[in-house]
Chain A
Amino acid sequence: MRIVVASGKGGTGKTTVSTSLAQVATERDAVRFLDCDVEAPNAALFLHPVLDSQREVGIRVPRVDADACTYCGRCAEVCQFHAIAVVGQKTLVFDDLCHGCGSCAWMCPEQAISETLSVTGVIDSGTTPEGIAFAQGVMNVGQTMGVPILRELKKWTPARLPEAPGAPRRALEILDAPPGASCPVVETLRGADLVLLVTEPTPFGLHDLKQVVAIARELGIPAGVVINRDGIGDDAVGAWCAESGLPILLRIPMERRIAEAIAGGRTLVDAAPEYRPGFRDLLERLVAGVNP
């Protein structure tokens, strides 16, 4: 079962919720955790995995064999992104604009185009001290497209899923999504069984929550809500969730002590163990189906 933790607005506590959910889940289940915020991946700062494996990822960009090229311009014609151009007796490739679709290579009548990997980031993977199989995508600074990294990250499977002696465990995947409501969020949500939306009770939190709820509905993914920093702002989020039939599965009050511990790199359930039962309950309700 794949659970995505998303939010719309940044900084509402996605990573706080996803890391604590993973720690609580691993008591009973085999957990795979993917940090899908490739622009700003932070879950490792809380789960402290030993990242013993790294793989370069990117997109396949064209390379033109100058001897075979006849400068016919077919490649430039089929490219939708202006990433390849023929100027006089030269065919120029702009790696930064290329989406790696392969059309230019397939359509070249001289078969003068081959493809090579242009590295845009890495996938780090390993295991956390409590046995969570962990991977994160990290986009290189200066790159624009995170989605190809995300696609590769979602394909990652640990060499060996952590096994516990005794009864077979449920296999859970927890994905920490990036903020926003555009393509990287959609790619994270594709194929999810459930989405847990973390918001804060302010007009910003509500506005951005609505954006992600619209995506979840379009993809047909059942959603539940966690209200973080409960008590700041107002309760328009609670009222809207009630109107929209979105269950509020957990409220985490604004507490300075918790904010301080998280600031220093501790997970919520580590800093405040009294939240463990709340997260256990949250997890079981998610697994049982939030929209019965």
Chain B
Amino acid sequence: MKQLVILSGKGGTGKTSVTAAFAHLAAQGPFAGRVLLADADVDAANLELVLQPRRLDTQPFRGGQVAVIDEDRCLICGDCESACRFDAIVETDGRWVIDPIACDGCAACVYQCPTESIRMQEQRVGECRLSDSRYGPLHHAHLHPGQENSGKLVTQVRQRARQQALDEERRLVIVDGPPGIGCPVIAAVSGADLALLVTEPTVSGIHDLRRALGTVQHFGVPALVCINKADVYPKGARDIETFCEANGIAMVGSIPFDPSIASALVAGEAVTAYRPEAPASLALSALWERLVSVLVEPPTRQDDGFAEPITDNLNQPGTFQ
């Protein structure tokens, strides 16, 4: 069983549109009928909007805890406030109150309270969902707005997807990843077999691609790159190609800017199903063929995708060559 994760660094480069197209395209070929999907962008879980699946199961997800003060026992001494490093204990009408949004769940206040007036309370922060889509089972989630622990929820979605894939001897899990490079991204990428980074030829896209590649390589996952909206700024696309070449990372496709992608979203379909002859669909089909060959026969250490880690300063803005 292989796990392919779609990432980008910068948001809005087209991860979910690409994932939906792959889900559609994978219905043919070596993975036909053996695919499982996972939406690991729990903050902005959009794959469901394209696939319009039928919900089979929902499980509550309990994340971290938050502190609660028992007003009757509180002596209003303020020890909790001085202990809190998250500015979560605020004075309201002469009393100390915990701001559950700011509370990190560390329980430092619980241990500092001289009258044992503070306890920790579990938060229901979201739910894990299993749905049946036209292209296979979809594991996804909903994080209640503003909640913490999205990394843990991503881990849970991936674990559930992996377990079902193993149980049913499915051959491929396609994971739609979150933007950025932090906790949820690390949860989405760790242990995957292959990462596809969808970038765009803009100064921001390139800057964030470098950071995302650094993260993926840090966790030892081979990475390939494709450029979406490649024709919007040809110089940027050439810069990405040069960068990938210099760092030994394989560029596996270029998708042109195509209004069909937005139309397909509105229609609730993968663009490759909605308009198979559209320029973006043709490019996505070619890209998928390449990915299939990599997934069927993974690259070896010397080949593309197992490049040496990027070692130059990934924090510098605008230093992209």
Residue numbers of A with Cβ under 8 A of B are 8-12, 15, 37-42, 44-46, 48, 78, 80-81, 99-103, 106-107, 121-122, 136, 138-146, 151, 178-186, 190, 200, 202-204, 207-208, 211-212, 214-215, 218-219, 232-234, 256, 259-260, 262-265
Contacts and interface: CB of A to CB of B under 8 A. Distances in A.
Interface centre among B10, B182, B184, B201 (most CB of A within 10 A): B182
Interface centre among A80, A101, A182, A264 (most CB of B within 10 A): A182
Nearest 9 CB-CB pairings of A with B = A10-B11, A11-B12, A101-B106, A263-B233, A180-B43, A39-B180, A214-B145, A263-B202, A141-B214
Nearest to A191: B87
B317 A204 contact: no
B111 interface: yes
Interface in B296-321: 314-315, 317-318
Given A183-B150, A190-B101, 8 more contacts: A11-B200, A39-B182, A40-B208, A141-B315, A145-B182, A182-B146, A232-B259, A256-B232
Contacts of A9: 11-12, 44, 46
B317 A141 contact: no
A204 B49 contact: yes
Nearest to A178: B180
B108 A180 contact: no
Contacts of B111: 78, 103, 106-107
B254 to A, nearest CB: 15
B208 A204 contact: no
Interface of B: 8-13, 16, 42-44, 46, 49, 64-65, 83, 85-87, 101-102, 104-108, 111-112, 120, 143, 145-151, 178-186, 200-205, 207-208, 211, 214-215, 218-219, 229, 232-233, 235-236, 257, 259, 262-263, 265-266, 268, 314-315, 317-318
A40 B179 contact: yes
Contact of A180 (B8, B83, B150, B232): B150
A136 B318 CA distance: 13
Contact of B318 (A45, A139, A143, A200): A45
Nearest to A14: B11
Contacts of B215: 141-142
Q: Interface majority SS on B: helix, strand, loop or mixed?
A: loop
B265 A202 contact: yes
A232 B218 CA distance: 37
A186 B146 contact: yes
Given A218-B145, A263-B201, A182 B43 contact: yes
B128 to A, nearest CB: 16
Contacts of B266: 202-203, 233-234
A182 B143 contact: yes
Contact of B180 (A44, A179, A211, A214): A179
Contacts of A184: 182
Contact of A211 (B145, B262, B318): B145
Contact of B112 (A39, A80, A106): A106
